[in-house]
Structure 1
Amino acid sequence: MKIGFDNNKYLQLQSEHIRERINQFGDKLYLEFGGKLFDDYHASRVLPGFAPDSKLSMLMQLADQAEIIIAINAADIEKNKIRHDLGITYDVDVLRLIQSFTDRGLYVGSVVITQYSGQKAADLFKSKLEKIGIRVYRHYIIDGYPSNVSLIVSDEGYGRNDYIETAKPLVIITAPGPGSGKMATCLSQLYHENKRGIKAGYAKFETFPIWNIPLKHPVNLAYEAATADLNDVNMIDPFHLDAYGVTTVNYNRDVEIFPVLSAIFEGIYGECPYKSPTDMGVNMVGCCIMDDEVCAEASRQEIIRRYYQALARLAKDMGSKDEVYKIELLMKQAKITTDLRRVVGAANERAEKTGSPAAAMELDDGTIITGKTTNLLGASAALLLNVVKVLGNISHDIHLIAPSAIEPIQKLKVNYLGSKNPRLHTDEVLIALSASAATDHNAQVALEQLPKLKGREVHTSVLLSDVDTKIFKKLGVNLTCEPIYEEKKIYH
């Protein structure tokens, strides 16, 4: 993999910049962490070299003075919104985040349920958290938000929200994903702190969009593609341009909320310390791009992946046409087509030739390996075996798993477990390969190649089962699928 981002430089510059911002305020600083605090795989894909846990590494340096609040939108709980990179719902991810932070010695003070309007699922989740000792607060929908400043900055607006009790000088606000209400939580707390005589500050740590690269740079377009379901729009920060005469990039929600933030700060200090949404940020990512073209190409690939993911969600009645249309527009702006993703053509061509589902993977050197559907194996399972043979310099003619070993598994699936598909899925073929490795040297060599699959590109000619999808995610491959089912059914 070509590296386009200097992660060590980033850790140094970013931590220094955050400390400077903390020193600007007195009693307390609310620091909104946009994106993922760890497991930031989007950033690592579009900025090759960026470590998924970079932000967590910086936070660990401030652990003694920091506490964490996790925000989750009540509507996301109600509709079981899924974090697609992990395949789990947002409410489950809150539990995962709490455990992960706690395991690292970080203090999670509470969870706040935002946009609350009596959702039953949110009430059940609140009870579940409280039973395990987690404090839970509720923030409510405010009519006219974010335009009705007089209502928002009043006892009927932010004043109606629960006041979140905090004990540390640095309060980190994070969430399972975008649209969770992190900024609104911070602003609500500023209002409540002011009423209690505490002068609290606010800063924003948002990786994307990157403020000091062009508006239509592929990295910034990839962020729009990643948030297409929210309809976020990158835009020139008009406040920054007016104040400094400098063009910077921000996004619509931050620009829309800035007058509200400015009004709140005026109530606290008599004036707003920030002249623009860009001023609020502490993001140094743009200063650490060491190879612009590498990051640009990685971002073009990400946009295409997001396009196929949107198509797949639409095919499964989990997405919308508007999301697909938006990403199609972004692809036009980036001047790219799906042809740029080489595994797409390879998988579809193999499927057309064989008349059955096929899969393709691109290796580091550009070699593309394909797998076809057989009587014994599904296309994804066949692809895995073909790839590990190539990586392990094993002849294609050698059977890593004897057909005589596969047949009993098929019998178990069909005769005893009620499966209608006798072909082995990826999880089953990997278990069979592991069993063969105990007595077969080639199978052992093949098994040792699996870590090399991380970050590789894979495309399949049909939508995969949940089992195959999860295995590919565990292997760390970047998977896309054609938005069609292998069989035409009304229930899958």
Structure 2
Amino acid sequence: MKIGFDNEKYLKIQSEHIKERIDQFGDKLYLEFGGKLFDDYHASRVLPGFAPDSKLQMLMQLSDMAEIVIVISATDIEKNKKRGDLGITYDVDVLRLISEYEKKGLYVGSVVITQFAGQSGAVQFQKRLEKKGIDVYRHYLIDGYPSNVSLIVSPDGFGKNEYVRTTRPLVVVTAPGPGSGKMATCLSQLYHENLRGVRAGYAKFETFPIWNIPLKHPVNLAYEAATADLNDVNMIDPFHLEAYGVTTVNYNRDIEIFPVLNAIFERIYGENHYYKSPTDMGVNMAGNCIIDDEVCCEASRMEIIRRYYTAMNKIAKEDGGENELYKIELLMKQAKITPADRKVTVAAMDRANKLGVPTAAMELPDGTIVTSKTSNLLGASAALLLNALKQLAQIDHDRNLISPEVIEPIQKLKTGYLGAKNPRLHTDEVLVALSVTAASDPTAKLAMEQMPKLSGCQMHTSVMLSDVDSKTLKRLGVDLTCEPVRESAAKGEF
């Protein structure tokens, strides 16, 4: 896999830049952390070389001066809102985040419940946190937020919010998901700190869009594809262009809110000496660490195609709307790509058209394309895993890694005792069978040892996979796409 991003440079200059921003204000910096702090796989896919936990590693370099404030909306607690990627509710994720941060040696100072209006779920969650010894603060709904600036920046606006006590110069404000109230929490704190004579500032840390690469650069287009369901649009920052005569990229929500933010800053500080544009508020240095632009461009084009297939699959499952798909199709036109630009898509579909059965294809790290088909024993995705592992271990293709005598009892268990209609082994089942075989078979053991090499490999299937198969492949780090086609239990993967 070619590298296009210098991760070590990123960790170094990003932490230095944040320290400089703290010094700019003097006493304290409230840093709104957007996106994922853990497992930022989108960034690692479009910027090959970017480690999924880069932002966490960067923050750990600042651990002595940083504390974390986690924000959650009372409305989200009441609605039991879930994270789409993890399938857990936001309140459960807050507890998970606290545990994960503390395991890394990071200090979690408190939790802020925003948009509080007496919701019973929020009250119970606060009690649960306080029993664990976690400080909890309430921030309230403000009529006319964010436009009614005179009310917002007053004793009846931010003044009603509970002041969050912090002890360190860098306060990282994060949340389990978007819309939690991170920015409002930061601004409320600026108001309260100013009343107390503390010179506090605000900055925003989001990886995308990258402000100092072109608007229609594939990396920025891939971000639009990733947020197509939110209707985010990358734009030239007009405030930055007017102030400095320099073209930078931001996204619509920050540009639309900036006049309001500027007015709030002016009411808090008396005059806004710090920021003339939304771009000024950001501290992201990722664009300075791209070392091979074409590698990142190609990776981003492939990400857009993957997002295209994800949107089509959501429609097929009646889980999403067509507007998301239409937007991604437009982005594909801007990037001058089609699904045929993805090698594994072409390989899988060519074989499916020839054989008339479900098929799959995977591109290995050296560029080799491996394919498979559904058989009486294995689904196409399970067969593909075995074929890929054999290729990586340079094992003869005709060599059975798992004998039919091992597979058949598993099939009997599935259909005879567990009530399954599909006798074919799923990916998780075939890996368990392979691991059992590897205990006594050196060849199977050699194949098993190749599994880490599957991470980052591209894969496409001619039918939609079961949740079991999809989750297994995700755990292996395989970048999967599927045709939006359902197959019956008798003929396909289910």
> Shorter chain as normaliser: what TM range?
over 0.9
Question: 2:51: which partner in 1?
Answer: 51
Alignment partners' CA distance in 1, 2:287 and 2:48: 13
Q: Contact between 1:362 and 1:369, CA under 8 Å: does it hold in 2?
A: yes
* Structure 1 position 384, deviation (Å): 0.4
* Structure 1 position 314, deviation (Å): 2.6
Question: 1:348: which partner in 2?
Answer: 349
Question: 2:95: which partner in 1?
Answer: 95
Alignment partners' CA distance in 1, 2:19 and 2:93: 29
Question: 1:61: which partner in 2?
Answer: 61
Query: 290-299 vs 70-79, which deviates more?
Result: 70-79
Deviations 1:229-280 (A, max 9, x none): 2111111111111111111111112112222322232233221111111111
Question: 2:235: which partner in 1?
Answer: 235
Mark the CA change 1:401 to 1:108 in structure 2 (over 3 Å): closer, same or farther.
Answer: same
TM-score scaled by length of structure 1: 0.92
Deviations 1:298-341 (A, max 9, x none): 11111111121222223333322222221111111111111111
Q: Is 1:225 matched up with 2:225?
A: yes
Alignment partners' CA distance in 2, 1:62 and 1:463: 44
Opposite residue 449 of structure 1, the aligned amino acid is Q
Matches within 5 A, 1:326-405: 326-405=327-406
Opposite residue 281 of structure 2, the aligned amino acid is M
Question: 1:149: which partner in 2?
Answer: 149
* Structure 1 position 145, deviation (Å): 3.7
Alignment partners' CA distance in 2, 1:124 and 1:470: 33
Alignment partners' CA distance in 1, 2:326 and 2:313: 13
Equivalenced residue count is 489
* Structure 1 position 392, deviation (Å): 0.9
Alignment partners' CA distance in 2, 1:411 and 1:43: 43
* Structure 1 position 454, deviation (Å): 0.3
Mark the CA change 1:398 to 1:123 in structure 2 (over 3 Å): closer, same or farther.
Answer: farther
* Structure 1 position 91, deviation (Å): 4.3
Q: Contact between 1:73 and 1:180, CA under 8 Å: does it hold in 2?
A: yes
Deviations 1:112-138 (A, max 9, x none): 344556766656655554454434444
Question: 2:302: which partner in 1?
Answer: 301
Mark the CA change 1:167 to 1:326 in structure 2 (over 3 Å): closer, same or farther.
Answer: same
Question: 1:280: which partner in 2?
Answer: 281
Opposite residue 183 of structure 2, the aligned amino acid is M
Alignment partners' CA distance in 2, 1:158 and 1:321: 40
* Structure 1 position 386, deviation (Å): 0.9
* Structure 1 position 161, deviation (Å): 4.0
Opposite residue 370 of structure 1, the aligned amino acid is T
Q: Which runs of 5+ in 1 are unaligned?
A: none
Opposite residue 231 of structure 1, the aligned amino acid is N
* Structure 1 position 201, deviation (Å): 0.8
Question: 2:7: which partner in 1?
Answer: 7
* Structure 1 position 87, deviation (Å): 5.7
Deviations 1:427-464 (A, max 9, x none): 11101000000111111111111110000011122222
* Structure 1 position 150, deviation (Å): 2.8
Opposite residue 442 of structure 2, the aligned amino acid is H
Alignment partners' CA distance in 2, 1:40 and 1:4: 16
Q: Which runs of 5+ in 2 are unaligned?
A: none
Opposite residue 468 of structure 2, the aligned amino acid is V
Alignment partners' CA distance in 2, 1:116 and 1:484: 44
Query: 265-274 vs 296-305, which deviates more?
Result: 265-274
Alignment partners' CA distance in 1, 2:311 and 2:140: 30
Alignment partners' CA distance in 1, 2:328 and 2:205: 25
Question: 1:487: which partner in 2?
Answer: 488
Alignment partners' CA distance in 2, 1:126 and 1:377: 49
Alignment partners' CA distance in 1, 2:482 and 2:75: 28
Matches within 5 A, 1:286-325: 286-325=287-326
Question: 2:266: which partner in 1?
Answer: 266
Alignment partners' CA distance in 2, 1:230 and 1:115: 21
Q: Contact between 2:80 and 2:90, CA under 8 Å: does it hold in 1?
A: no
Q: Contact between 2:153 and 2:267, CA under 8 Å: does it hold in 1?
A: no
Partner-residue secondary structure (3-state), 1:339:
helix
Partner-residue secondary structure (3-state), 2:64:
helix
* Structure 1 position 346, deviation (Å): 2.0
Partner-residue secondary structure (3-state), 1:173:
strand
Mark the CA change 1:87 to 1:441 in structure 2 (over 3 Å): closer, same or farther.
Answer: farther
Mark the CA change 1:119 to 1:389 in structure 2 (over 3 Å): closer, same or farther.
Answer: farther
Q: Contact between 1:73 and 1:113, CA under 8 Å: does it hold in 2?
A: yes
Mark the CA change 1:142 to 1:62 in structure 2 (over 3 Å): closer, same or farther.
Answer: same
Question: 1:474: which partner in 2?
Answer: 475
Question: 1:458: which partner in 2?
Answer: 459
Question: 2:416: which partner in 1?
Answer: 415
Mark the CA change 1:68 to 1:360 in structure 2 (over 3 Å): closer, same or farther.
Answer: same
Question: Percent identity, aligned pairs only?
Answer: 74
Question: 1:431: which partner in 2?
Answer: 432
* Structure 1 position 219, deviation (Å): 0.7
Alignment partners' CA distance in 1, 2:4 and 2:308: 23
Alignment partners' CA distance in 2, 1:121 and 1:358: 47
TM-score scaled by length of structure 2: 0.92
Partner-residue secondary structure (3-state), 2:219:
helix
Alignment partners' CA distance in 2, 1:194 and 1:311: 50
Alignment partners' CA distance in 1, 2:485 and 2:117: 37
Alignment partners' CA distance in 2, 1:227 and 1:179: 14
Q: Contact between 1:179 and 1:230, CA under 8 Å: does it hold in 2?
A: no
Mark the CA change 1:37 to 1:117 in structure 2 (over 3 Å): closer, same or farther.
Answer: same
Partner-residue secondary structure (3-state), 2:25:
coil
Q: CA RMSD in A?
A: 2.4
Q: Contact between 1:199 and 1:268, CA under 8 Å: does it hold in 2?
A: no
Q: Contact between 2:194 and 2:269, CA under 8 Å: does it hold in 1?
A: no
Alignment partners' CA distance in 1, 2:188 and 2:15: 26
Partner-residue secondary structure (3-state), 1:431:
helix
Alignment partners' CA distance in 2, 1:51 and 1:346: 29
Alignment partners' CA distance in 2, 1:11 and 1:215: 24
Alignment partners' CA distance in 1, 2:82 and 2:305: 22
Q: Contact between 2:80 and 2:89, CA under 8 Å: does it hold in 1?
A: no
Question: 1:25: which partner in 2?
Answer: 25
Opposite residue 12 of structure 1, the aligned amino acid is K
